[in-house]
Amino acid sequence: MPFSRTLSAVTVRTPGYRPRRRRSRRTDSGLLPFVALVALLALAGLGILSLGRTPASPDLVAAPGGPSAAHSTAAARSPGQPGTSPSGASSRQPSTGVASAPPGSGSVARVAIVPVTDFRSPVASTSLADVEAVLAGTSERWNALSLVERDADAILAALGVARPSDPARLVLVRDAATLAEELAEHRDRLAFLRADEVRPSVRALGWGPHALFGVDRVATIDAWTLFADVPAARSEPLAYDPAAAWTLVAGGDILLDRGVYKTIELDGRGVDFPFDGGTAEITSRYCCSSFGWELPRTRRTGNEGAMRRLLERADLAIANFENPAPNEFSFHTRGTTFTADPALIDGLTRAGLDWVSLANNHIRDAGGQGIIETIDNLDARGLRHGGAGADIDAAREPSLLDAGGVQVGMIGYDAIAASYNAAPDRIGNAPLSARNCREDVRKARDAGADVVIVFPHWGLEYEAEPTAGQRDVGHACLDAGADMIIGNHAHWAAAVEIHDGKPIWYALGNFVFDQVWSEPTMEGITLELTFVGAELRQARMRPHIILDRAQPNFLDPAGDGRVVMDQVFEASEGLLPW
């Protein structure tokens, strides 16, 4: 909103305020030297180990040029031959255990492999043609292929390609963790990993039209087309199964009053309109809004309903509900006091939203009774909620939701409007503090939560960088046992931080909101997360732009979406090692 009602040491902004853009295996036998020599010779014969080479560093190993016999055979297969996909990559189905190998060659396992690149990459998918271009030195996007050394020959064989004649085009590393670090440092490299080794520090790509992570992933591992026979111990299980994964989609701030109400009701677009968005592009920019901001001209590019499909297909979809919805509501044409027509909640539930936070600096705009009526109206429509209640205990009660058999605990807090906070005998929202986090995370765990997500309303409006206070309390919540933090209130997409291996999204920006007076308030991030059990495996930030004061539409992250993505990454400097 152009005027801040923020409290708690937050500077009040005037309507004309224009923020600054910132951009070992052990043996007891005395035959150890002989056994080790035999093993080394066997590995060298397989091409798994190259003797006589000194790596450039302990983690990076130079790849010799020239194809091996196995690679030549694989590369000679035509796309129509058995064992290859239409693109020429292996499409044989995975085995159910560890495959037998020729005598003396050790064991191998058939595993899914996945193309990956650096976390910040805007690329969504790749193909065999891309891999061949990288190895040939003709790719306009990547200049080298990175592989974990133990799996390199198996992956190249599965792809049906040979080692490049230029050894600089193939970089071999020690393990998956080193590969992730290497991709973060060299963002112009493509890589492949075993699917079970993919973590959020890298960006998993689709292979052609198929994806192994995310809402649109293949339903079963049998539908995936990339497999490799990698070296494995006989006790090593086959791991990642997309059928066992689950997804969470998070949006930012939702408003159902003011300009959004005008679009839905007065303009007759209907209650479902906000979530019917598809894709859009920015055709030009012009000067200026009433607040002096350059504004984008936009065009819809199709894919109507893409946002709805994302929300519906997610196992859990969440957002911030930035207004009360009391029985007696008023349509506000301007200002920063909000009330929403409870009937408009139907649009959220039909779109697939499962939970909303009520912990924000507007939830008490209709008084304490307005919060109680909002809760009743959400309950009547089956939309779960948290962060506000009849007293402090109710406001701080974690919400437990089932996502693919995993219990997810959601905890909403507000750090902005202290006057709206609940008390033992007062209706209101849950105040954010390190102490409350410690107690409430423990309560969520005791109630059976496998994953705990803190959802705070905090920070400064129209700022992408977090304050020192945000960082301190965020770290405290994660140290208390929360798994991640997804915040809001800035009305801008803000920084991402990794603290002790756990992510903090400081703000996702506007989701359904009418702040069309600047490009940063029109754009935001829809967050798509993939979990296996309680472990986060992938995180995808999908940029969007709000059209008609109410409807988020996806932007191409490699095109117009780069503006908001660059805003996020610039604000994340020094906070995001990926």
> Given pLDDT bands bounded at 50, 70 and 90, which one contains residue 524?
very high
Contacts of residue 288, Cβ cutoff 8 Å, sequence gap at least 6: 294, 295
pLDDT of residue 238: 55
The pLDDT score that the predictor gives to residue 525 is 98
What H or E segment, with its residue span, contains residue 69?
helix 69-76
Q: Once rounded to an integer, what is the mean pLDDT over residues 415-433?
A: 98
Query: Tokens 């992570």, residue?
Result: 213
510 phi-psi bin (left φ>0, alpha ψ -120 to 50, beta other): beta
Percent residues over pLDDT 90 in the chain: 80
Residue 134 three-state SS = helix
pLDDT bin (cut points 50, 70, 90) of residue 556 is very high
Entry pTM: 0.84
- The pLDDT of residue 428 is 98
Q: Is 80 exceeded by the pLDDT of residue 35?
A: no
Q: Which amino acid is at 548?
A: D
- Within the chain, which residue ranges are assigned CATH 3.60.21.10? 245-571
Q: Beginning with the edge strand found earlier in the chain, give each strand of the sheet holding 399-403 in spatial order.
A: 399-403, 406-414, 451-457, 484-486, 502-505, 496-499
How many whole angstroms separate alpha carbon 253 and alpha carbon 322?
6
d(CA 547, CA 526) in angstroms, rounded, equals 15
Per-residue pLDDT averaged across 323-352, rounded?
98
Provide mean pLDDT across the span 438-458.
Answer: 98
Angle CA(62)–CA(66)–CA(67) in degrees, nearest 5? Answer: 110
DSSP string, 549-575: TTEEEE--TTTTTHHHHHHHHHHTTTT
pLDDT of 11 over the 60 cut: no
Hey, what CATH topology would domain 55-240 get? D-Maltodextrin-Binding Protein; domain 2 (3.40.190)
CATH 3.60.21.10 for domain 245-571: yes
Report d(CA 556, CA 542) in Å as an integer: 8
Chain region(s) in the chain for CATH 3.40.190.10 = 55-240
CA distance 320 to 540: 19
pLDDT tens by residue, 245-292: 999 999 999 999 999 999 999 999 999 999 999 999 999 999 999 999
More confident residue, 167 or 65: 167
